[in-house]
Each structure stands twice: as C-alpha cells, then as structure tokens.
Copies of this chain bind each other. A is one copy, B any other.
Amino acid sequence: MAAMSLTAPPPNALPPQHLEVSGLGLSRGGRTLFEGLDLRLGHWETLLLSGPNGAGKSSLLLALAGVLRPDAGTLRWPGGERPLLHLLGHESAVKPRLTLAENLGFWRSVNGPTGMTPGAALEAVGLGGLDRIEAGHLSAGQTRRLGLGRLLVSRRDIWLLDEPTASLDAGGVTLVAGLLAAHAATGGGAIVATHDELALTTPATTLRLGLP
C-alpha cells in the first residue's frame, strides 16, 4: 500500500472531503447529547473522537451512519447521497460457529470483493494461519482483530470505528494505527472513537465530546 501513498495531496491544495456535518443535534432516551455540532472529514484525514464515558461518541457514529435519527442538522456527502461505508461497533460482528476464513469470506461477498482476500486480511490483523479455527475459540482480543479484518476485505472510503482497540494488546494498538495510516494513505477518511492514544503518522484531528 506504500505505493498508493504517492497519491497524497500537494501540501498547499485544500483536500476534497468525504463528509461535512453542520449544526448536528442528537438526543437519546429523551436526553440531549449535543447540539449545533459541526465537523468535516477530508480525504487523507482521520478524525479522532474522544471524551468521557457517556459523552456520545458511539451515538455520534450511529447518527453519521444513519442508524440514529438526529434532531437537527444536516449531513452533506459530496457525492450527493450517502455512500456505503464501514461501521465497526462495540461488537465485532463475528460468528463464533464459523471459521475465521468463513467469517471474512462472508463479509467479502456481502460487502463486495473490493479489498484483500480473507487470508491476506487475517495476516494483516495478526491472525495469520488461524484461518480454519472456529471464531468461537478466539480470545477477546483475537475476536476484535477478526472484526477489524472485515474492514480490509472490502474497500470503503469512509470508516466509522467505535473503540477499535478495545481489549487489544499493545501490539494491537499499533496495528490499528497502521491500518488507519494505510487507509488514509489511499485517500480514505476515518472517524474513530477511542480512549487509547493512537500514534498516527497521517493528518489527524481530535474532536472532544462532552466536555465536563
């Protein structure tokens, strides 16, 4: 993927954008989480969401994905209507009864075979060689890694990740940073809710929610 990073923008050009949000207001269970929130996600950009537990990070991601209906505000997608994107929630969308390869193979066929092969993806998330094991036999962190594999088997320009590093070891955290860097290098954008420090090598802005 290093080759692709040649497509990085000339320093003084304003990069095109994936998404522009203005005046977003969201409430849950009758409680207002935030109002008048503006954000923009450019190409080659990673937006980190931070904030205390209950600040509204996951809710914001769900609202951007169209799962929750915001009270107010507009989402502008340059293409016109919303493109397909990758959404990784708190749960990793892994089927314990299927093998690792079957899990990724399924997502590849359903989301479109526009990314790596399952085998390559497993390598990339550090589960190489476990293809034939049932996912139910994985540890918590290994399961999370398998969940990350889903992002790699189909290419989507926008990633919405909710605590991708949950229950990952130190190696896993750097791995996630690497995946994000590679994704950004190909012009993709990512919005990542996290409590960990991701050492990102690519342009990243941080949005703090729920300031006390």
A residues with CB within 8 A of B: 28-29, 51-54, 58, 90, 126, 133, 137-142, 144-145, 163, 166-172, 195
State the Cβ distance, A18 to closest chain B Cβ, in Å: 25
Does A171 lie within 8 Å of B52, measured CB to CB? yes
Does A172 lie within 8 Å of B137, measured CB to CB? no
The interface residues of chain A, by DSSP majority, are classed as loop
Copies in the complex: 2
Does B195 lie within 8 Å of A168, measured CB to CB? yes
Does B140 lie within 8 Å of A58, measured CB to CB? yes
Complex Cα spacing A133 to B31, Å: 12
Does B167 lie within 8 Å of A163, measured CB to CB? yes
State the Cβ distance, A45 to closest chain B Cβ, in Å: 24
Does A163 lie within 8 Å of B140, measured CB to CB? yes
Does A138 lie within 8 Å of B168, measured CB to CB? no
Partner of A145 from B53, B138, B170, B171 at Cβ < 8 Å: B53
State the Cβ distance, A27 to closest chain B Cβ, in Å: 12
Does A90 lie within 8 Å of B140, measured CB to CB? yes
Complex Cα spacing A79 to B44, Å: 61
State the Cβ distance, A176 to closest chain B Cβ, in Å: 12
Q: Which residue of B lies closest to A212 (CB)?
A: B171
